[in-house]
């Protein structure tokens, strides 16, 4: 019913920037919190950032506060993650997910996942 497609990943040197996009299609949705998550090899998928479609409230993991910014464009059904001052430990596959009926997107609330986009940060 809802498809999510991430884009914008790539290879970047430490200190550089990337902007990830997550485009939603298949149905209109405005009752979804949207979240960004990441997963490195051998590790669990971890929370990065969340944004509500009904409010401007945003939440970030401590590890990315001050460096990453989550935003949205409701007309385009797209969520973004601006990543600045990237570090090698940010290297992971980044996923977006939709949590229907919630204002905060955490992993066990996600109804739809994208397939992920690779972010690699070299030192």
Percent of the chain past pLDDT 90, that is, above it, reads 80
Q: What's the confidence (pLDDT) of residue 101?
A: 86
Three-state secondary structure readout of 54-117: CCCCEEECCCCCCCEEEEEEHHHCEEEEEECCCCHHHCEEEEEEEEECCCCCCHHHCCEECCCE
Q: What's the confidence (pLDDT) of residue 36?
A: 98
Identify whether the C-beta of residue 38 lies closer than 8 Å to the C-beta of residue 25.
no
Give the chain's mean pLDDT. Answer: 93
Q: What's the confidence (pLDDT) of residue 32?
A: 87
Residue 117 has pLDDT above 90, yes or no: yes
| pLDDT tens-place string over residues 94-115 | 999 999 889 899 999 999 999 9
């Amino acid at each position: 019913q809802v498809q999510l497609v991430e884009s914008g990943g790539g290879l970047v040197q430490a200190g550089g920037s990337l902007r990830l996009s997550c485009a939603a299609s298949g149905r209109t949705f405005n009752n979804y919190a949207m979240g960004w998550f990441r997963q490195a090899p051998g590790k669990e998928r971890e929370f990065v950032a969340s944004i509500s479609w009904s409010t401007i409230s945003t939440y970030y993991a401590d590890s990315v506060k001050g460096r990453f910014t989550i935003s949205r464009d409701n007309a385009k059904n797209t969520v973004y993650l601006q990543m600045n001052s990237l570090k090698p430990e940010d290297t992971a596959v980044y996923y977006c997910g939709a949590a229907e009926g919630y204002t905060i997107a955490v992993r066990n609330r996600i109804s739809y996942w994208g397939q992920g986009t690779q972010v690699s940060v070299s030192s």
